[in-house]
Amino acid sequence: MSDINRLALVTLPSPNLSLETVRHLERYQPGGVVLLKQNLVTIEQSQALMADLKSILGDGVLIAIDQEGGNVWRTSFLPSAPSAGNLGVSNDPDLARAIGAEIARGMRSIGANWCFGPVLDLSNNPLNPVIAERSFGANPDAVAQLGKAWLEGLQQSGVAACAKHFPGHGDTHQDSHHDLPKVNKTLAQLEMMEFAPFRAVLEGVASIMTAHIVFPAIDPDLPATLSPRILTGLLRESLGFAGAIVTDAMNMGAITAHWGRGPAAVQSLAAGADMLEVFGSLTDQIETFYALERAITQGVLTKTRIADALERRDRLARTYPASQLEQTNANPKLMVEAWQQGIARTGNPRLPAPNSSVAVILAPDNPGGSAWESALNGADVLTALRRVYRVTPIWLEQSDPLAAVALALEAKTNHDALIYVSSQAGRMTSPARDALSQIQPDLHLALWNPYAVADVNAPALLTYGLTAESLEALVRELNSRS
């Protein structure tokens, strides 16, 4: 195999390397891995996994994690950082920088050297199913300032940052994990909004991740990941970005349903990407590796193009080596305090007094979503609220939302307050929204998607994420009753 496989970042099927996986890595020699929650069980196991990867793939291996904060958080054994949306409420660049540094220390404690964050997409579409609280906000200047501070803290602490998803995934109503979205804006609109946060970090950020989205004003036919006009013409030549360009996961529906894994990988490198996220089974990965080899043999990918990509890949690895720190992330206090600082309020909510009797409407299950792997459920929320109130739960089943409404109407007569909790990544379904319109809760706790506040006629507290640390921050906020 040629060096082209070093432009691939692969996933692993389990927390520990099986003999089959070891032989796969030894034979194909990818340039790095992207670790998911399934690979990161404990700090000791994660450290051992990193050591194994370095022994097989060399000291120059790239070990990447989607460690954005909030519910895009792969290491359950490390305290979760606030989401970008939560930090956007605080609007404190110094805090964002401190959080970035803390994320880096946690990653380096297990030997990882590349963080797929920050998200620089704008939160400017309430129907977006995959960005929402992952964004610092809707204002491009604020997103740029906070994102730049966050990545500076990360990189100054020894972990490469990756701004995503270029040119912008915020103003879509489809999830590129499943569909092929389009952003139908003029070039002038894109320049003013979507491009602005990326432009602000071009000189400092180590890498940028592409979006599987079509921007007809630039390229009417191809998503950014496959478009020479966007990756080479816009990002390299017009904007002058000199760092590494990495694709989003190449197994996402936006790509595989239209172009296929192997052909899309070749097309992306030809368009100007430097590295590919080759997700999927070992068999799926081999399909991509052979497509890349054929492309070299057939002259579809030139030696110059591959050499340029390898140079950027190796520069990234040299600048941010996968070296392990002795200390671990030892500052959970900072995380909880930051989460609490970023709790937002709408509609001037009046908080029930601690130890009062409250009825709480909440969903028992949490399906999570395509980008999220970390999701608590209704039982976790209930346990937290019982640290503040005497709680009567009313379980909202999507199959029969009217049942919860009947119980809630009765509960309003014999409880001090009625609280509705939205604790899922997605928005409320129409039947549930119609059913709940028959009552008016005294308080809405929007614990994940901030746009959920539009689904319920009630004043609200918003946390912008649902993790153990965000629930601890919520408990403190409710106990303060300020």
Question: What is the set of active-site residues?
Answer: 177, 248
Helices (H) and strands (E) in the chain, counts: 17, 16
Helix 93-108 and helix 140-156: axis angle, to 10°? Answer: 40
Alpha carbon distances (Å) from 380 to 37, 376, 401, 405: 19, 6, 21, 22
**Residues 250, 277: contact at Cβ < 8 Å?**
yes
- Name the residue with tokens 């052979």: 290
Q: How many residues does the chain have?
A: 482
Q: Which residues contact 162 (CB under 8 A, 6 or more apart)?
A: 64, 114, 115, 116, 117, 205, 206, 207, 208, 209, 246
d(CA 195, CA 126): 20
Radius of gyration of the chain (CA): 23
DSSP 72: B
Q: What is the phi/psi pair of residue 14, to 5°? A: -155, 170
Which residues does 474 contact at the CB level (< 8 Å), separation at least 6? 340, 343, 384, 445, 447, 461, 463
